[in-house]
Structures are given as structure tokens and as C-alpha cells.
Amino acid sequence: MGWSDLLKFKEDPNVQIVALCDVDEDRLKKASEALPDARTYTDWREMFKMEGDNIDSVNVSVPDHNHFPISLQAIRKRKHVYCQKPMCHDVNEVHSLTETSVKSGVITQLGTQLAANIGSQIAVQLIKDAAIGKIKHVYTHTCGSIGDRLELMRESNTSGLECLDPPPLGNVDLEIAFDQIGNDMFIKGNIDSVNSLLYADDEKAEIDVVKIIETGKTKGKGFILSTACYIAPMVSKERLLMLSQMVEKYGQY
């Protein structure tokens, strides 16, 4: 996200990029070649110290665990912040950023560009104009580690959750998720396309697929088995055919 954000900011005639920071020397070199006049740093704390009033805003597009601390320090220094998703790891961090940004009087934005594109804007307007009739169901799309947000999603009265990633990408087992929210929400659960479809032998792959299907069929309000937005690139066509056949055999309600 950092590289794509950088190119977009570079296109804006109202933006002057004066400093770049990355712990990865190769990525920093690539960015510096694109913006040779920008000063470079490998430690964001040093950048804040050295740049001071030279910068008005900060774009935080680093690995997830550093989104909150960098954003918080920037906001405390009264810098406007554009932070990539996920903004924080938990609700307390969100509250802290919100309160600090209000106190500092800065403008902040989360990197959910998709929600700002023309298609999304048209969809919002169609809903407001009641062009598609009364909305009866809303499904929440998410991914990754969402264990601390399951109950929050249920409390929002969303109709269903898509997509529930298995460990290690996610942090909630499907059966546990059903125990927590399954009676109130539909769940679309992802199969592990790496460990179950790519690396597992036929026996383990079949066991994994049957387990997730049976869990979805016997628990909660409803379930769809998904491979998420991708299949691990080296998964064979024979394994995908096996998955399809097993869904036909075991997956009918």
C-alpha cells in the first residue's frame, strides 16, 4: 500500500513529499529514486524529530502493528494523518486516536479508498434514493484477525459475516465463531487454501473440508464455504476438483 499511496500523492500538484521513511532499504531506495529530492529515514521517530515543522501531514502505510503508535505520535505533534487499514488492533486504541485527534484539531482519514470510488458513491446514492427498495439485509465483509470484533458485529445487527479466515491468517476457529455469534448471524467461512488445499495430502485435505462443511451445516444460522478472494497459486486443478466434489457430496443442507 505504501508504494501505491506514494504514487497517488506524487500525482497531486498540491502535495509536496519532503520525507520518506522505511526500515526496508530496498523499498526506501525505490521510493527515493522516484522522489530524489525527499529526505530519507529508516526510523520514523528520527524523522519526526528531524523534520519538525517541515511536514504538515503523515501517510502511515507500514506493517499493521505500527499503524497505531506512528499515527498517535503524529497526531500528538499536530500532523494530519492518512493511515492505512487496519487503523488499530483494538477498540481502546481507536478511542485513544479519536480523542487525541479531536484534542489536537487535526484531520485524519483511514485508507479505505474502495469506499470512496465512483461505484461506491453511486451505490450509496441509490440506497438514499430508495431506488433498490427497502434494505432488508446487510452483510459485513472483513478478513484477518477479527476475534475482538465478533460481538461488535453482532451488536450492529448485520445479517451476516463474510469472510471468516481460519488461523493463521485469522484468529478465530469457525466452530468458536459459531458458538459466539452463529445463532444471530450468517457466516461465510474460508478454507485454508495453503495448509488444507496446497500442502495437505488427500486424506488430510478431505478431513479438513468435511470438518468445515459439517461445522457449517450443524451450527448457527447459515453457512457458505469459501476459498476467499484467492486460491494459493500452486494448488492443482485435481485438488480443486476434489473440493468441488466434496462440496457436492457433503455440503447440501
| Interval 154-174: pLDDT, tens | 888 889 888 888 877 788 888
The whole-number pLDDT of residue 99 equals 96
CA–CA distance from 63 to each of 19, 23, 85, 234 (Å)? Answer: 18, 11, 10, 26
The whole-number pLDDT of residue 229 equals 64
- Whether residues 224 and 140 share a domain: the answer is yes
Average pLDDT over residues 63-76: 95
Rounded to 5°, angle at Cα 3 from 26 and 61 = 100
CATH code of 92's domain: 3.40.50.720
Rounded to 5°, angle at Cα 179 from 174 and 180 = 95
- Whether residues 143 and 210 share a domain: the answer is yes
119 domain residue, yes or no: no
User: Cis link prior to 36 (omega < 30° from 0)?
Assistant: no
Query: pLDDT grade, residue 253 (50/70/90)?
Result: low
Buried b (16+ CB within 10 A) or exposed e, 136-146: eeeebebeebb
Place of cell 448485520: 158
Global pTM value: 0.59
28 domain residue, yes or no: yes
Average pLDDT over residues 211-217: 90
38 domain residue, yes or no: yes
- Whether residues 62 and 164 share a domain: the answer is no
Please say if the pLDDT value at position 128 is more than 80.
yes
- Pick the range with the lowest mean pLDDT from 107-111, 136-140, 205-209: 136-140
Last residue of a domain, one of 114, 146, 170: 114
131 domain residue, yes or no: no
Please say if the pLDDT value at position 205 is more than 80.
yes
Average pLDDT over residues 223-243: 83
Please say if the pLDDT value at position 123 is more than 70.
yes
Q: What amino acid occupies position 84?
A: Q
Rounded distance between C-alpha atoms, residue 76 and residue 54, angstroms: 16
In percent, how much of the chain has pLDDT > 90?
A: 45
The whole-number pLDDT of residue 97 equals 95
To the nearest 10°, report the CA torsion of 204, 208, 209, 215: 150
